[in-house]
Structure 1
């Protein structure tokens, strides 16, 4: 069982027959997210009314939050109402916070710290405009899409390729390139209609293709196929 679309070819290169490899994408519990979202929309905002570029994840080097701050520094002076919102904790926390101070961004880069409550995370996502993943990621893209956010990321471990479609619900930037990342973020900041359209498409992908019900059904189908083959062998 694998969650990458390339896994059949990958395992085949090791001599595993493709019929023995099942691809099932990963998902958070989107039913809970959608239920919480309805309640969140009735709550008072947690943040002042601004445009927030959001990152959620553990603050470790391979998440490349330093690259995101560097990219933000290239254009932040142009937009008085734009802030970078960083949610998470980890060994890079102090370094990244000092980096924002050294760049003169302490009033525009907001460090929330670790948030484990899914309802509160949902509030931050609801109040944000763009979700950016500058390095390796996880299920945070799924969650951000469930809250209708456009996604900006690089090509990383492969999970992003079945979630993010170029110019449909997000943009890919060249890995490690802060100038290209800054350019992609600005594209969405200055184009409200494009940003809104991409956010709506993110939500559509989650509702129709990449949700907990589809994933569960695919696991069920795979197990049934495997079980059928096993019983045939023993018969």
Structure 2
């Protein structure tokens, strides 16, 4: 559920769909590379991929119908939004918030070296653990505000210290 541009590595997600034939991938968003990804999906004969396009209002309905939220790379507040909707998460390297928001095996899986095969493995693992259970865990993480705020402050202070050390 993001804009379609190649920095977001959507091809990793598309390639996983060949092995996840019992799943449907819904991509919400547009962007400079949307046509590239549509052609990519067509060329790979991925019949289980739907490109919705840009959605400004009521994007929450797409989160509600999803079982799992997958973000191969970058995404801003999309992780938070998926977690509000109680979705398990699979994500690659994003903006850094994934380290606080995604706990491997608890509410999803975080992997800086995400590949199509790893996505398949993580989807199967989430199904075994329980989509609903992991989704509820996602929501519970968001409500542990003190812990998240404490981690934010800790990272901020470390960043300031590193800047001071490098500046000397």
Task: Tell me the TM-score normalized by structure 2.
Answer: 0.81
Q: Which has the larger radius of gyration?
A: 1
Structure 2 unmatched ranges of 5 or more: 154-168
Q: 2:132 and 2:114 mapped to 1: Cα distance?
A: 26
Q: Find the partner of 2:52 among 112, 116, 119.
A: 112
1:101 Cα deviation after fit: 0.9
Q: 1:204 and 1:174 mapped to 2: Cα distance?
A: 23
Tell me what 1:195 maps to: 131
Q: Which runs of 4+ in 1 moved over 3 A?
A: none
Q: Given that residues 70 and 178 in structure 1 are in contact (C-alpha distance below 8 angstroms), is that contact kept between their aligned partners in structure 2? A: yes
Label 1:204 to 1:180 Cα distance change in 2 as closer, same or farther (>3 A): same
Label 1:176 to 1:151 Cα distance change in 2 as closer, same or farther (>3 A): closer
Structure 1 unmatched ranges of 5 or more: 1-55, 220-235
Matches within 5 A, 1:47-196: 56-73=1-18, 75-77=19-21, 79=22, 82-105=23-46, 107-117=47-57, 120-188=58-126, 190-191=127-128, 194-196=130-132
Alignment RMSD, CA only?
2.1
| Cα distance per residue 1:107-147 (max 9 Å; x no partner) | 31000001111xx1111111110000011221000000000
Task: Tell me the TM-score normalized by structure 1.
Answer: 0.59
- Number of aligned residue pairs: give it: 150
Q: Residue 20 of structure 2 aligns to a residue in which SS?
A: helix
1:174 Cα deviation after fit: 4.7
